[in-house]
Structure formats: C-alpha cells, structure tokens
Structure 1
Amino acid sequence: MDRGAPSRRGPCRDVHADLPGARPRHRAVRARLVSRPAVHVIGEALIDVVVRADGVERVRPGGSPANVAVGLARLGVLTDLLCRIGADAYGDLLRAHLEQAGVGLPDGGSPAPARTSTAVATLGADGSASYRFGIDWDPGTIAVPTARILHTGSLATVLEPGATAVANALSAADPATLVSVDPNVRPTVGVPQVEVRSRTERLAGRAHLLKMSDEDLDWLYPGAAPEEVAARMHELGVRLFVVTLGAQGCFLSTSEWSCRIPAEAATLVDTIGAGDAFMSGLLYAVIADDGDQTVRTGVLQREQVENWAHTAQRSAALTLGRDGAEPPLLAELHARELVSQSAREPVSR
C-alpha cells in the first residue's frame, strides 16, 4: 500500500521544511541524500501471508531487509535493495510496493527465481507473530555498491548459497562504508542454532553496527544478559551494539559505556515489522546526524546514541500501532517526536 512516500523519479520536495521546528541540518541532509543512494540493503523481499487469531488470512509485502529499505525510503533516505523477486503475481505485488515506497531495485529484483519467496505469519491473541517460510535465496555474486551504509540481516545471512555471497559483499565493502547487521533470527527456517550463531559472529567481525532483539539474544545465547553478549560483540569488532527489549525499551552498548533507555508508549495492534521499523529509524537518525563515520570509528557519545535510539523507538512504536509492517513517513515520525518532547517538558505556571 502506498502511504504517500516521495517518488524517486519525481522532483524531491523538502519533507522537513513544512514541519514545526524543522532544523536546517535536516534540509541539508535531504539535499545530499537525493544525489546518490545513502543506504544499500541486501536481503530477502517476500510475501507475508498473515493469519490472524480469528483465522482470516491477508497477503502483505514483507521480508526483514525489504521492510528496512521501505522504512528508510519513507523517511526520505535514498535507498536501494538487492533482492530476488519471482516472475509471478506475488512478485508484481512486491515490485509495486517497493517502487511506491521509493526503494530502488538496481537489478529489478533479479536474477529471478521461478517463484517469489513467502512467509506465513500466524498471529496470537496478544498480537505476537510466529513464522514459517518458503524461501529461495541465491543472489549470485553481489557487486558491492558505493553507499554511506551497507545493511543486511535475517534469512539472507544464514540461507545458502546466498549467505556466503552476502558475507563476501560485507568483506569487500569500502572502508568508509558503515556496515550494519540485524540477525533477526528465524528459528523455524531450519538452520541449526549453532550454525546461526557462528554465522552471526562472523558477520559481527565485519559489522560496525549490530542490532538484536531480546528474542534473538535468548535464542543465540541462552541465559546470557545483554551486557555479556555485548562484551562478545565488541571483542569481535562491533562498535555499537543494540538490543531491543520490547516493552522494556532497549539496551545500548559501546566498548566504553552501556545503558538502557525506556520504551516509547505504543498501542499494540501487532508486532509485524516493528523491529525492522526500529532498524530503519536508527539508520535514519545516524544519517540525519552525520553519524555514520562516528559509528564506524567507534567514537560515540552516550547522549548522541540515546537520541538516535529514541528516534528508532518512535518509529517502532508507530508501527506497533498499525496492521502489518507499515513503517512511518517522515512527517509522522517528526510529529511523534514533538508529542514526546512536549510530554517531557515541564508545564509553566
């Protein structure tokens, strides 16, 4: 569904300028982003067949990397997605969804498999989702693009033959490119835990920014606290490690400090795409603050990173209040930011 995201093909309106309190810095960032892809995402685009608790089925575009790409594009970040999309009706739906959001498909989503990959997401009464997958992931040799950020995650990093191609692409990334990884573990895809953990740690050795959910952490490192896993990630070379903790907020860690920040208030409809909206919100905040090289070098101030995380949590909160993976537009994110700031400011008497 097109929610009014700016087209890559038409003139780029300054989506920041109309917002109350918009900062000149944002307008300058927008001008830079339209000139070249700021983020290149590698990974699966698929169709979610969502089965609600009452048994009703709905078909929606999805895939964790694709959701992150859509979230970034809706926030005004010029984003490309390298994926595989079938030459079928589901593939047509996916291409239309990505193009309407403003996501670039450098190779048109090819080489195309015979069919588009699918995920059956079954919703519980509490809005949580469980998944089973039908995936074809073989992107061939990946030409490493020039971009400020290279992001990947989820099934693309564990399913062969594509997982090796993804790892090679991260290894070949320009030294000035920030590498971002979100494992977004899917236990039901059938890859053993020990293999997923090994692959995740190899990717951590290439990543500057790595984000996990509390469910990822519990499955990969049973019984370990976020602080323990953070120590391992920093040992492997990760500069900024983030763990989303659901209603408990999120955990942030660098080699110098760690902290937890509370969650943003949200009305829960379902959890589909919320973690991806957090990821796209975080990457947007890093770019808008010219922080990509700061993350890459690891010189990170706590207040700066907390501000990025607050933006990411607002993005996730807006998505939690919607049906399916529907990340916010930039105007919606800024409106939510103004509400959050007003709630924290003391009332003058």
Structure 2
Amino acid sequence: MKKVFCIGELLIDFVAENQGKNLSEAKEFTKKAGGAPANVACAISKLNGKSVFLGCVGNDPFGSFLLNILKDENVDVSSAQLSDTFTTLAFVSIDEEGERDFVFSRGADKKLKYDPALKKEFNNNIVHFGAATAMLGGELEEAYGRYLFDALTQNSFISFDPNYRVDLWKNKEELFIKKCTPFIEKSHLCKFSLEEAQLLSNKENLEEACKVFHEMGVPIIVITLGKEGTMLSTPKFSKTIESIKVKPVDTTGAGDAFIGCLLKQLSMHDSLDKVLENENQLTQMVALANKAGAITTTNFGAIESLPTPEQLAS
C-alpha cells in the first residue's frame, strides 16, 4: 500500500452555535478541527489507508488539540512542525440569508518549512496538494512548490485540489489562477468543484473545461457536483457518476472525504498507470468516493463525520 502525503493547513474552526446571525451577533462558538489537507489525511486513515500530514501548528493548546485529533485518527504526524506563531484560526457563521460570514486569522500554517529529508519518502508514493492557504504566501507557499518538484523527481503520483475560498481571494482571482497553473500542469489527478473548474479553465461548459485541463497535461479530472454526483474525465472518456441520495445536514468536509476515499483506493495499487486506463475500475472508484462524500454530509463536523469501511460497505 502506498503512503499518501497531505500537505497544508491544520487549523481551528470556531463555528457559531446560533446560526442565522452574522459574526458580530454570534456569542457562542464550538471549537472544531479544520483544514482540508488534514481532513483528507483523516479520511484516508479512517478507511485503513496510510496517510502522512505535513503542516505546521502553533506550539500552544490549540496546536496540541489539533495534533491529538490526527493522532487519534491514526494519521502519521511525525513530520508535522510546531511554531511560536499562534495556530491558525477561522470563525464561521451562517446569516439569515444563508450567506457565510467568515473571518480568517492566519497563523502557524504559513510557517511550514521545507524539509529536504522528506524527498526520499515521496518515492513511488502519493503526494496530495490540497491546501486552501498554500497560495497565500509565507514559507508554506515556498515549501509547497519545492515539494511539487520533489514529487516529480521521485516518481510520485501527484494529486491537486485547489480548494478555492472566495473569502480569501476576493479581487485576486487572476493571481489565484496563475499560482494554481503549475500544479494543474504537473498533476496526475485534479479534483475541482464546479466553481473551481469554471474559474481555472475560463469555461462555463464542463466538457470544454475538461478539454482545457487535459491540454494542460492532466490525465484524470474529477469535478464534484454535489447531489448531481461527479464528472469523471480522461483523454479517452467522460461521464457523470451519480451519488447516493441522502438528507444533508452539514456539507463541511464532503469534498475532502471524496478525494480522501479516492486516493485511498488508488494507494492500494502498485501500477497506477493501469488503473488510470481502466474505465470500469475508475468509475467504481469514483462511485465509492461519491458515497463517502455523501455520508459525510449526514452529520455535523468534518472529521467526526468521515465514513468508516463498514459504512461504505453497507
């Protein structure tokens, strides 16, 4: 089984208890572990895969809380780093109009230092670039780029999820596209939301968007479409794979559960080239990943809602 290295942020989400209010009116918050790469690492581990988290938290109680959660989920955190900078925080509430009110206080995640010793660990393994904060500057952005180069030189399977956050990139969309482009060009697998696919390809039509990404060099593209399922595209075929029907209560982490489940399945194969050429096998993998994402939406919170192997088998 291949290891999956997940690089990026691990942070505290303070979620307002009384939804229907903006943050200025919210009085009570619940502390939750957050960060897309950490969610993906937990999703893989919870499905009995091997995941390694590469990120930085503050040397403070919040950082300890976060690392302990990952340890409890059997994620390898031996390469995680501590910083004297406070742990990154996010405050989130949903107002009466259903709009998200979001305040982001960036801290230790940007302090991740490149570790050259990890290069050999990447050899013939999977490296997932799925950080929402990796393009925002700091040492994390530099490390992100250097780890991409290492993955290329070590015969790694490279996965990329841009994790676009409107709140972080207002009026800077062109810069976001520019920074994402090298990762799209070098990845074997790219996972996009509908919004991301349209933004990064500059195409409204998804078939045209996939054509752009394939021309950039991506062999496998998955575009998650919520309850409509997932569009799977390769240079040889394209199809939309249905998801299961559920009553969602919280969509947080659904995309992370999806890509985590997909990467775990890929990690079971020695020859990924053969898998990527097998339409039926890829379709089955995406269908199971759809199920993982859907199950995650039926409970509150991301990590605690990630499915077990038993849930996926039922």
Q: Report the TM range for the smaller structure's normalisation.
A: 0.7 to 0.9
2:186 corresponds, among 191, 206, 209, to: 206
Amino acid at match of 1:132: V
1:92 corresponds, among 41, 52, 64, to: 64
2:126 corresponds, among 149, 162, 173, to: 149
Unaligned runs of 5+ in 1: 1-32, 336-349
Aligned length: 296
Change (3 A) 1:126 1:314: farther
Is the Cα–Cα contact under 8 Å of residues 261 and 292 in structure 2 kept in the other structure? Answer: yes
Query: Would you identify which runs of 4 or more consecutive aligned residues in structure 1 move more than 6 Å?
Result: 125-128
Distance in structure 1 (CA, Å) of the matches to 2:231 and 2:150: 30
Partner of 2:14: 49
Change (3 A) 1:268 1:291: farther
* Secondary structure of the structure 2 residue equivalent to 1:205: helix
2:112 maps to 1:139: yes
Distance in structure 1 (CA, Å) of the matches to 2:255 and 2:82: 28
Partner of 2:23: none
* Secondary structure of the structure 2 residue equivalent to 1:333: helix
Alpha-carbon deviation of 1:223? 5.1
Distance in structure 1 (CA, Å) of the matches to 2:186 and 2:5: 16
Distance in structure 2 (CA, Å) of the matches to 1:128 and 1:310: 30
Distance in structure 1 (CA, Å) of the matches to 2:186 and 2:271: 18
TM-score by length of 1: 0.78
Distance in structure 1 (CA, Å) of the matches to 2:75 and 2:128: 14
Amino acid at match of 1:45: L
Amino acid at match of 1:171: F
Alpha-carbon deviation of 1:57? 2.1
Amino acid at match of 2:212: R
2:33 maps to 1:61: yes
Amino acid at match of 2:45: A
Change (3 A) 1:38 1:128: farther
Amino acid at match of 1:224: E
Change (3 A) 1:271 1:235: same
2:95 maps to 1:121: no
Q: Which moved more, 1:237-246 or 1:160-169?
A: 160-169
Alpha-carbon deviation of 1:333? 1.8
Q: Which moved more, 1:303-312 or 1:212-221?
A: 212-221
Alpha-carbon deviation of 1:292? 3.0
Is the Cα–Cα contact under 8 Å of residues 132 and 189 in structure 1 kept in the other structure? Answer: no
Change (3 A) 1:129 1:142: farther
Alpha-carbon deviation of 1:157? 3.0
Distance in structure 1 (CA, Å) of the matches to 2:271 and 2:165: 30
TM-score by length of 2: 0.87
1:110 corresponds, among 81, 88, 112, to: 81
1:169 corresponds, among 130, 133, 147, to: 147
2:311 maps to 1:332: yes
2:252 maps to 1:275: no
2:49 maps to 1:74: no
Alpha-carbon deviation of 1:175? 4.3
* Secondary structure of the structure 1 residue equivalent to 2:83: coil
Q: Which moved more, 1:251-260 or 1:168-177?
A: 168-177
Alpha-carbon deviation of 1:134? 1.7
2:205 maps to 1:225: yes
Partner of 1:318: 295
Q: Which moved more, 1:120-129 or 1:87-96?
A: 120-129
Distance in structure 1 (CA, Å) of the matches to 2:296 and 2:100: 14
Alpha-carbon deviation of 1:133? 1.9
Unaligned runs of 5+ in 2: 21-25
Amino acid at match of 2:9: E
Alpha-carbon deviation of 1:126? 9.5
- Of all paired residues, the percent bearing the same amino acid is 28
- Describe how 1:240-251 pairs up with structure 2 within 5 A: 240-251=220-231
Deviation per residue, 1:262-299 (Å, 9 max, x gap): 2221221111111100110111122235563436xxx5
Partner of 1:292: 272
Amino acid at match of 1:172: D
* Secondary structure of the structure 1 residue equivalent to 2:32: strand
